[in-house]
A = this chain, B = another copy of it.
Amino acid sequence: MARPKVGEIDRSSSADKVEKILQGAMQEFLAHGYAGTSMDRVAEAAGVSKATVYSHFQDKEGLFKALIEKLARKRFHSILGTQPLKGEPYMVLRGLAATALDQMVNDQEYQAFERLLMGESARFPELAQVFIHSIAKPAIETISKYIASCSELNIPDPEATARILIGSLVHFVITQEIMHGKDIMPMEGDRLIDALTHLIVNCAD
């Protein structure tokens, strides 16, 4: 608990409180969704009073939007860690797919974020678009450019192919982890990666 004990002086600054509120909001919104989260619980999780939450954020919607934008910015900087992305196509694509899949499968926060954004994408379309703009689009562009740069692959449509690569991986995480399909239709991630790289690398006419 960062909250000071009774009798102690709370030395946390206003900026600290904002950060604590956003932390509490993250915990609650990621776990229970927008409508399922109450401002009382956010305040409790943050270790501040509800009035303090409202003094820093206009209302529940404003807090939610601030949180999503913060999370999107954070994710933007951790997409495949700015690898050089040069070298022999088979190994590069394989490493790329393996790294991305491993990160998504082992990152519960990512999965909760994806769940939240999809679930709220009807009520908050502009927040879903923040995700598209700052995460999905850059990822597609990066891979698309790499594929286009590999003339020996002879890929007619690099962008569509990049979407197949990313879409296969993300959908695998959605079905296996997010929607809890791994017990019902189990499959090793390596099989997907093998099949993907095989398709992309071995189809040069």
Contacts and interface: CB of A to CB of B under 8 A. Distances in A.
Interface of A: 31-36, 112, 114-123, 125, 128-129, 131-133, 136-137, 140, 155-157, 159-161, 163-164, 166-172, 174-175, 178-181, 183-185, 187, 191-192, 194-196, 198-200, 202-203, 205
Contact of A192 (B36, B114, B160, B196): B160
B184 A137 contact: yes
A122 B179 contact: no
A163 B155 CA distance: 21
Given A156-B198, A203-B203, 17 more contacts: A33-B35, A34-B35, A118-B178, A121-B178, A125-B180, A129-B181, A132-B175, A132-B185, A136-B185, A137-B185, A160-B192, A163-B172, A164-B192, A167-B169, A167-B172, A168-B171, A199-B203
A196 B161 CA distance: 8
A203 to B, nearest CB: 4
A164 B199 contact: yes
Q: How many copies does the complex hold?
A: 2
13 contacts: A36-B123, A118-B179, A121-B179, A132-B179, A132-B180, A136-B179, A136-B181, A156-B194, A160-B192, A160-B195, A163-B195, A168-B171, A199-B200
Nearest to A195: B160
Contact of A180 (B129, B156, B163): B129
A29 to B, nearest CB: 12
Contacts of A140: 185
